[in-house]
Amino acid sequence: MVVTVSPEESISFSSLNGDVQLRGILSLPRSASSNIPLVILVAGSGEVDRNENSRLAQLNVFNKLAEALAKAGIASLRYDKRGVGESVTTPTGGPCERGLYHKAGVSELMRDVVAAGRFVACSEECKGAGIALDKVFVCGHSDGALMMPLIYREMVADAVCPTPKGCIFLCGFGETLPHAMVFQRNKMADSLEASNGLWGFLLRLLVDPAKLRDESQSRKLFHQMSQSPTLALGLVKNPYNWFREHGELDRDALYVGLTCHILAIGGGKDFQTSPEYCEEGAAAKLVPRAASLKSLVFLNMTHVLRDLEGPMDPLQGRGVYIKQGGQDLKHELTHAIISFILSLP
């Protein structure tokens, strides 16, 4: 039977402990039969909304991805993070606790994904659209990918949530936040050392590349950010619980628990997360129990999932991201995701 549905439907669901009503979008193929696959999209770090947009940059990642998925007959669910965008009220309509986003740790963000899974399993919107509960996937970008093994474990353990058929890692497979911090500082040091002329000289006076490469300095900074709710003499709010809980995750133990189908994609011009674990041999060692594994590295792809001609300079990262936010996602990336989903029985 064919059902006609709205391609973009506003939805909302309560967090597991009822402290926030999470609001987002259910994207559906305009006309589709029953047995529709669905992807829950999990955003990266920062105060980003359902499309991975913020006050600092309009990245337009998940709206672009949702559009591509819908054209291929695949539904998706994306939502504003707690305390961001429209996710700022309680289920009864009152204002959320002040500072909800900055107080959130990995555990809260993970449980919000479980709440999204329960919405997929129980809501009339998903039932009426013909969503297949045995074809639910989770796709994490950046921090969403870092949290993915924990998300998978908790969704499997939840009595209501659908068990994910597959996990899709976009720029973050095998990565941990402390390691990503070291990787980013090394990339920044490379850029400083390559900067020529007076500008480069002045930059190196301000920031010593050798100190950026010092892993003890990176560990010290990570510890500081995992302890204090504010930085810069109390002027900057800091999601310290998020840092602390990331530092406590046991990566290897969590990855061994992944038994679903896995697609891992990295970018050769990503300066925020290393693509090294997306190399075939390294990837296979991390997930020995996976039902299947496909890993890819797109050499010209940046962290925001677009191609970039020429080198990626971390010192110009924000400007590059803002420019790329108006571009389509890398075609090979969306093709790989769609092929992965539709190839599974």
For residues 75 and 38, is the Cβ–Cβ distance under 8 A?
yes
Whole-model pTM: value is 0.95
Give residue 242's pLDDT.
Answer: 97
Q: Poorest-confidence range of 50-54, 128-132, 232-236?
A: 232-236
Q: Which long-range contacts (CB under 8 A, 24 or more apart) does 190-193 make?
A: 190/314, 191/313, 191/314, 191/315, 192/315
Q: What is the pLDDT of residues 307-328, one digit of tens each?
A: 999 999 999 999 999 999 999 9
57 by Cβ neighbours in 10 Å (0-12 / 13-18 / 19+) ranks as buried
Residues in CB range of 61: below 8 A, 6 or more apart: 51, 52, 141, 304, 305, 329
Main-chain dihedrals φ then ψ at residue 11, nearest 5 degrees: -135, 165
Q: How far apart, in whole angstroms, are the C-alpha atoms of residue 299 and residue 82?
A: 34
Q: Measure the CA angle with vertex 87, ends 329 and 247; round to 5°.
A: 70
> Residue 64's closest CA among 170, 154, 150?
170
Residues in CB range of 319: below 8 A, 6 or more apart: none
In the block, residue with structure tokens 């070291």: 182
Neighbours of 341 (CB within 10 A): 23
What percentage of the chain reaches a pLDDT higher than 70?
Answer: 97
Give residue 32's pLDDT.
Answer: 64
163 by Cβ neighbours in 10 Å (0-12 / 13-18 / 19+) ranks as middle
Q: In the predicted model, is pLDDT for residue 67 greater than 50?
A: yes
What percentage of the chain reaches a pLDDT higher than 90?
Answer: 91
Give residue 6's pLDDT.
Answer: 53
Give residue 1's pLDDT.
Answer: 36
Q: In the predicted model, is pLDDT for residue 2 greater than 80?
A: no
Q: What is the pLDDT of residues 164-199, one digit of tens each?
A: 999 999 999 999 999 999 999 999 999 999 999 998
Neighbours of 227 (CB within 10 A): 11
Q: What is the pLDDT of residues 210-225, one digit of tens each?
A: 999 999 999 999 999 9
Q: In the predicted model, is pLDDT for residue 232 greater than 90?
A: no
276 by Cβ neighbours in 10 Å (0-12 / 13-18 / 19+) ranks as middle
Mean pLDDT, all residues of the chain: 94
Q: How confident is the model at residue 234 (pLDDT cuts 50, 70, 90)?
A: confident
DSSP-based three-state secondary structure for 344: coil
Token readout for 164 is 């994910």
Give residue 30's pLDDT.
Answer: 78
Q: In the predicted model, is pLDDT for residue 302 greater than 50?
A: yes
pLDDT (mean) for 124-153: 97
Q: What is the pLDDT of residues 30-63, one digit of tens each?
A: 766 789 999 999 999 999 999 999 999 999 999 9
